Amino acid sequence: MEQPQLGHFGDRRLAATGDALLQAMQKQQTMCLHALASTRNEALRFGAFLDNGSVTRHEMLAHASRLTRQRAAGRHVLAIADTSEINFATHTGRKRGFGTVGNGRDIGVFVHPIIAVDAEHGGIIGLVGAEMVNRTDGPVEDHKSRDADEKESRRWLTGAETAAYALEGAAMITMVEDREGDIYDQFARCPETVHLLVRAAQDRSVGRGQRLFKTCGGWSEAGRYIITVPARHGGYGKGAIAERTTVVAVRYGEVTIKRPATADKTLKAALTLRVVDVREVNPPEDPRLRIHWCLLTTHDVTTPQEAMQIVRWYRLRWTIEQVFRTMKTDGMDVETSQITTPNNLLKLVTVALIAAVRVMQVVIGRDPATGQKLSDVIGSPAEVLALQAINATLEGRTEKLKNPHKPDSLAWYYWIVARMGGWSGYTSKGYKPAGPKIIARCLKKLDAMVDGWVLANRSALTRLP
């Protein structure tokens, strides 16, 4: 690649190895270097790469963030943040220096990324930043008794500042977070250039002895909508629950929330926020199954259309869940991963995160309805030329086998990716779009072809404006 994909690391060879590792990770999400590498020598090279002091998580994240910042200019960006734990089952007990995850037994790390999503079409713009924690302290017993500034929630407080800095130049920034982000300090300290959209976790006091949830429930309905509640596959003692459809009522209004007794006394004593409340009209008996999203936001909400816009933006939080799902593979085993230090593990998890964002970006952008631009994925004119050349070799003689999408769209790129994966190219009946796994496999092949083409045509390329 003309521009390295993973980072510069101050050395061309390191940058090239980084790109090879990233491409391998896109193809197959695993923490095992032997599985990632195609030869034994390459596995050793990947190991040496991670050991190298110039290869830092900071350079990988800063590089991704720079690309995202360029693409985000002038757009309304949803900065979606969430935490996920990556577990590594272990057979021989805890290794020195590796932390444990929530169950206090498995080795693992916490990943807290922020991803940039286009508020208009929902396509991924890129990674904004990420915090990784190798938690060596064991599970936190009682997080409510701690100050918000303490370790566990600090990442939620710094997220908006990170986004404000990294997405400077965006037309608008909205942080989108689930209930974990419902921290008074975050609303009180949010930078002026950043909006917040957070699902309420706490039934806060809204003054005059009133509580948030009951207050919202008393507002008049702005509309009713049918929504599909996805199936739940069990785990953690919960049984599997089938997909269902249900009717929800949407309400909106304004509340003033009080500073909780546990919060920093230097913060404002009260804050005025808008609320969009989505709750089932006939909720099921079991309160755990009920749909109730009480969405707190700094955006103005004065019409039912604006309320539904808030709901749509919140639902795009799904994107970060998909990134986590792409990252996680079953049976990751630290013992056999040739990863010897927690720091190297965190580097590899960073590569896995960047790879997962790239894969999901193409998976989501393949839908021509999004209208997402190719420039969100491919930066240089040389790579675009290479893709045009590859596209020409993949198109058939008949009209039916021409790439039907605009050459500047991500859907056009996806058509090439899918064709390389052996997809027939016919869009008539029986066509089933490829999922993340197939796309990831094809992306690696395509990246290699683009590289080869750019290399072979370098002399011709220098003449370009």
Give the residues lining the site for Mn ion (CB under 5 A).
82, 178, 180
Cβ-based nearer residue to Mn ion, 150 or 408: 150
For residues 196 and 378, which CB has a smaller minimum distance to Mn ion in the complex? 196
State how far the Cα of 130 lies from the Cα of 357, in Å rounded to an integer: 12
Burial 396-423 (b: 16+ CB within 10 A, else e): eeeeeeebebeeebbbbbbbbbbbbbeb
CB of 292 to Mn ion, least distance (A): 16
Q: How far is the CB of 276 from Mn ion (least distance, A)?
A: 19
Count of residues in the chain: 465
Query: Min. distance of Cβ 180 from Mn ion in angstroms?
Result: 5
Between residues 204 and 317, which has the closer beta carbon with respect to Mn ion?
317
Nearer to Mn ion, 156 or 187 (CB): 156
- Of 232 and 406, the one with the shorter C-beta distance to Mn ion is 232
Q: Which is nearer to Mn ion, 25 or 128 (CB)?
A: 128
Partnered with residue 246 across adjacent β-strands are: 227
**To the nearest whole angstrom, how small is the minimum distance from the Cβ of residue 39 to Mn ion?**
39
Contact of 323 with 356, CB cutoff 8 Å: yes
Q: Which helix (H) or strand (E) holds 441?
A: helix 436-456
- Least Å from the CB of residue 178 to Mn ion: 4
Query: At closest approach, how far in Å is the CB of 238 from Mn ion?
Result: 16
Nearer of residues 82 and 182 to Mn ion, judged by Cβ? 82
Q: Which two tokens stand for residue 287?
A: 């309160």
Range 59-84 burial, b when 16+ CB lie within 10 A, else e: bbbebbbebbbebbeebbbbbbbbbb
The pair phi, psi for residue 375, each rounded to 5°, is: -65, -15
Which residue's CB is nearer to Mn ion, number 318 or number 426? 318
- With contact defined as beta carbons under 8 Å apart, do 212 and 204 qualify? yes
3-state SS class at 432: coil
Q: How far apart are CA 4 and CA 15, in angstroms?
A: 6
Question: Measured from the CB of residue 70, what is the shortest distance to Mn ion in angstroms?
Answer: 28
User: Between residues 82 and 447, which has the closer beta carbon with respect to Mn ion?
Assistant: 82
Q: Which amino acid is at 304?
A: P
User: Of 201 and 346, which has the nearer Cβ to Mn ion?
Assistant: 201
Contact assessment for residue 75 and residue 118, using Cβ atoms and an 8 Å cutoff: yes
H/E segment holding residue 48? helix 40-51
* CA–CA gap between residue 162 and residue 167 (Å, rounded): 8
Give the nearest distance from C-beta 50 to Mn ion in angstroms.
28
Residue 181: CB minimum distance to Mn ion, A: 8
Min dist. Cβ of residue 102 to Mn ion (A)? 12
CB of 323 to Mn ion, least distance (A): 12
CB 121 within 8 A of CB 368: no
Q: Are 276 and 252 in contact (CB under 8 A)?
A: yes
Cβ nearer to Mn ion, comparing 71 with 112: 112
CA atoms of 396 and 46, how far apart (whole Å): 39
Residue 453 CB neighbour total at 10 angstroms:
19
Shortest separation between residue 226's beta carbon and Mn ion, angstroms: 26
**Residue 5 or 186 having the CB closest to Mn ion:** 186
- DSSP codes, 385-400: HHHHHHHHHH--SSGG
* Residue 455: Cβ within 10 Å count: 11
Q: Do 280 and 247 form a contact (C-beta atoms < 8 A)? A: yes
CB-count exposure of residue 284 (10 Å: 0-12, 13-18, 19+): middle
